[in-house]
Every structure is written in structure tokens, then in C-alpha cells.
Amino acid sequence: MTGKSSVTRRPPVKRLLGGAVVAVLVLGLVAFFVARKEPTGVAGVVGLAPAGDQPFGASDTLDGARRGIYSDTGRLAVIGDDGLSLAVNGKFQPVTERGSNVVDAAWFRNGATLLVAEGPVSTGGLAVVDIDGKVRGTIPLEPSVGFGSGHGMTVAPGGRQAVITAVDRPVLDQEQRRLVVVDLESGATRDLTAPGGPDEFRPFYLDEEKVAFTEISADGAPRALIADVTTGEVEEVAAGSSVAGTIDDEVVLLDGRRRLVRAATPERVLATVPRGAALSAINPSGGAAVLVETVDSPDGSRFGRLRRIELASTPAS
């Protein structure tokens, strides 16, 4: 986002990872997600629009949000000051309790469940939450990592693994970001990229072994990279561009001219991100992207707004 929201006094935030929430038996939890098929229609959740409904309704904007996250089925999760919500026909339907300090989230590929991180300090685990608000449990992380203000996370096909952006805060030094692989069966974490090096963030699984992400060097130059989560081997996709997301599990780049292009067909521009806006998400099925803007209200405060833009179609590869 550009700019800062106005400062308001809020009651103490509610956390998903404490109190009555008991750590799940993660093996059984992940087995549930692996066995569960991608939903059609409402997936048994009363009061939710079926997958494929328009998250923005008849408008192209949603006020009061800091970030949007598309599922493979076209649902849009929204992170705002009141926690995590689902955008349904232009309105927010809460997923977490109001006031939950959610900083990041990623969809399981069933399109009905999210992996949720709270912050900015480490909570020791990740929550698994259905879109109807049911907290299925938590996955304790060992070693634990922090998420800062949230810089991207992704769940592997099959739901057994995730890659998250971990945030380190060295004493008297700037925040550092790196990628960490999380075994969702055991909660074990391991570095995918080394701490103390260039910043890495916004990972996206391409398949069960490959993850695309962005690296920022010390001079501020971005690189789009792909890492093998098993071997750690890294290959460059494009220098001077960042990873914007995926369409049909293929990398979409944000280039130095603020253009969105598919890495396989860089000569074809999908859209251009206007000045004053930042890219938030790309629909993995194509067709749309979501931008985030900071808007001035009449009373002088500022708030976040999500804006939907259309993407040019691309020929099937």
C-alpha cells in the first residue's frame, strides 16, 4: 500500500492461536485436506455464495481492506483492520473473529480453507480456518518464525506443505525477509533461502516441488526466481522483474514498467499497474487482478481500498 492509515485506538486484539484453541493433531488435519475434494457450490457452508460468484458484486472497488488474496476457485479473502474476511458480492463476511490481528493468509486448493498467520510478533504457529469461521486448529512451528506485517505465503498442492515469508528483526538493523518451508504434518520448519542475504518474499507454488518468488538485492533491484523446495536449487526467471502471481500455475511478472506479463509470453501485456496503486493479487484462473490503494476520506483519515482490474486474455499454451 501507499501511505498509512489513520491511527485509531482499538481494543486489545483477539488471537486465533491462544486461549481455547488447542493444537490439532496435524497429521490427521492435513489428511483431511488431502482427502477433501475441491468444492462445487457452497461446500456445505450456509450463507456463503458459491465459488465463482463475483467478490466485488456490481462494483470494482471494496473499501476498508489492506490486501486481497484469490483462491484457485475465484474466491477473494480480504485482510483488514478487523481480521480476515471473505468478499461476497461486494460485502465482507468475517472469517476470523473481529479484531483478530491477521497479517497473512494462503488458500488450500479446496477453495474453502485458509492457512492464517497472526503478527507482527511470532505466535509460534499457524491457524487453519474454514471460510465459515470454524478454526480447525493450529500447527505449532518448530523452530518458530515471525511474519512481520505479512509478505506472502503459499500452500502446496495436496496441502502437506507450505512456504511462508519469515521476518527476522536483528538488533539495530533493518527487518530481513526470507523463505521458510513448513511441513504441515509435523510443524517442522526449514530455510528455503538463507537468512542474512537478500530479501525474499511473495512465494507461489507452481507444483509440489517448485516455488516462484521475488528477491530484492541490496541495491533494490528485483529478480523473479524459482526454487526447488527439495534440493534448494534456484533458477532465474527474469532480472528486473518481480513475481506478481500465477495463472494456471505459470509465473506472471511485474516488470520495471509496472506491466503484468506472463513469463512464457512476455511480449503480451495483461495490464499495467497505475502509479499510486500496488498489486495485491492475481486470480490464478486469469481474467482479473486486485490492486490496493490508499484513499483520503472527507474527515481527513485514510483507508485502504481494493480495486479490481481486468486482465487481457492470453492464448492457451
53-102 pLDDT, tens per residue? Answer: 689 999 999 999 999 999 999 999 999 988 999 999 999 999 999 889 99
Phi, psi angles (nearest 5°) of residue 236 = -85, 135
> Which three cell numbers, joined as nine digits, stand for 264?
512464457
Integer Cα distance of 305 and 53 in angstroms: 20
Integer Cα distance of 317 and 311 in angstroms: 17
Is 24's pLDDT higher than 80?
A: no
Domains observed in the chain: 26-38+54-310 (2.130.10.10)
Integer Cα distance of 102 and 80 in angstroms: 8
The one-character DSSP state at 101 is -
The string of pLDDT tens digits covering residues 247-276 is 999 999 999 999 999 999 888 999 999 999
Mean pLDDT of the chain: 85
Phi, psi angles (nearest 5°) of residue 192 = -95, -40
Q: What is the pLDDT of residue 119?
A: 81
Integer Cα distance of 268 and 165 in angstroms: 30
- Tell me the one-letter amino acid at 153: M
The string of pLDDT tens digits covering residues 130-161 is 999 999 999 999 999 999 999 999 999 999 99
